[in-house]
Amino acid sequence: MTEQFARFDAAEFLKSPEEMAAYLDACFEEDAGDGVLIRAALNDIARAQGMTQVARDAGVGRESLYKALSSTGNPEFATIMKVMKALGMRLHAVAI
C-alpha cells in the first residue's frame, strides 16, 4: 500500500478573528528574526479571509500582495501595516 498525504494548509483552519490573531502571535514568538514565518502567517490569514478582499482593503494589487507575502517576498513595512489593518489586526509591543 502507498500512503497518500494531503498538503497542510493553515488557511483552511483559521475560522475566527481570535484564531487568526493567536496564530499570528505564535508566529511572532517563533520567527527567527528574518520575517519568513510572519510573512507566511500573514499569507495564510489573508487567504483565509480572501486575498482579493484583503488586497482591496489594503489598497494594493492582489498579485502584488501574493508576491509580497510569498516566501521570497520582501514587503515594505508600510505594506505590512496596510495588510494588518485590512485583516482587522494591529501590532503592539510588549516588554520581554
Reading the chain (96 residues) residue by residue, the pLDDT tens digits are 788 888 999 999 999 999 999 999 999 999 999 999 999 999 999 999 999 999 999 999 999 999 999 989 999 999 999 999 999 999 988 898
Predicted pLDDT of residue 14: 96
* Closest C-alpha to 83, from 61, 93, 14, 10: 61
Predicted pLDDT at 2: 85
Whether the CA torsion 20, 25, 26, 28 is positive or negative: it is: positive
Could you give the CA distance from residue 60 to residue 5 in angstroms, rounded to a whole number? Answer: 35
pLDDT at 94: 85
Give pTM, 2 decimals.
Answer: 0.90
